[in-house]
Amino acid sequence: MKELEEKIVREAQVLPGHVLKVGSFLNQQVDTVFLKKMAQETARLFAGLGVTKVLTVEASGISFATAVAMEMNVPMVFAKKHPSANMSGAQLCSPVYSYTHKTTYNIVVSRDYIKPCDKVLITDDFLANGNALKGLMEIVDQAGATVVGCCAEIEKGFQGGGDELRAKGVKVESLAIVESMTDDGKVTFRS
């Protein structure tokens, strides 16, 4: 999405460790009008594939996944990162290494919310090395359900996670793919 690339150039900051900060419209403050446009574009990219659920991981994936699920008229499910007293019954669980927190945590979804008949679209805010998406794919696999594809708002193409999944035949669509970013804030995109 050209408009997303322009927003990144105007508003994003490059932090040390190849972290892109987009708190002004995506990660802390959410530009809801623009979020709707991104969700509409995502629904268009995955139209006609029979998606029955949108799955993401808390916390920063939730706003995008909710907007996409609303466009597709299906439920949104998010994996929890922390054990919670209000989770009971059988659970689907996968370890994920966090790029931003440099630690491994278990993501957990109740078995009640993903069934073998589900066709799941996995979404997240960022796609870097692909660990979060791989963990979510593992959860879908454990449920016996089908992954229809994956969509990130922003992919950092130079970190390779998206291309690794595409090479395995997964339909991966990202609304903007950053090809390079420098410490002085210059960002280029894959064309």
Place of tokens 């916390």: 59
State which residue, 25 or 99, has the beta carbon closest to ligand 5GP.
99
Q: Which two tokens stand for residue 43?
A: 């629904």
**Least gap, CB of 67 to ligand 5GP (angstroms):** 16
Q: Which of 27, 52, 110, 188 binds ligand 5GP (CB under 6 A)?
A: 27
Q: Which of these, 53, 11, 22, lies nearest to 139 by C-alpha position? A: 53
Half-sphere exposure of 53 (CA within 13 A, CB side): 22
Measure CA 149 to chain center.
11
The angle at the Cα of 100, spanning 23 to 168, to the nearest 5 degrees, equals 105
| Subset of 126-145 contacting ligand 5GP (CB under 6 A) | 126-132
| Subset of 54-73 contacting ligand 5GP (CB under 6 A) | 60
State which residue, 78 or 99, has the beta carbon closest to ligand 5GP.
99
Contact between 173 and ligand 5GP by CB under 6 A: the answer reads no
User: How many residues bind ligand 5GP, per CB under 6 A?
Assistant: 17
Contact between 125 and ligand 5GP by CB under 6 A: the answer reads yes
Q: Which of 25, 64, 78, 99 binds ligand 5GP (CB under 6 A)?
A: 99
CB 153 within 8 Å of CB 125: yes
Q: Which residues pair with 151 in a beta bridge?
A: 123, 173
Binding site for ligand 5GP (CB under 6 A): 19-20, 27, 60, 99-100, 124-132, 156, 161
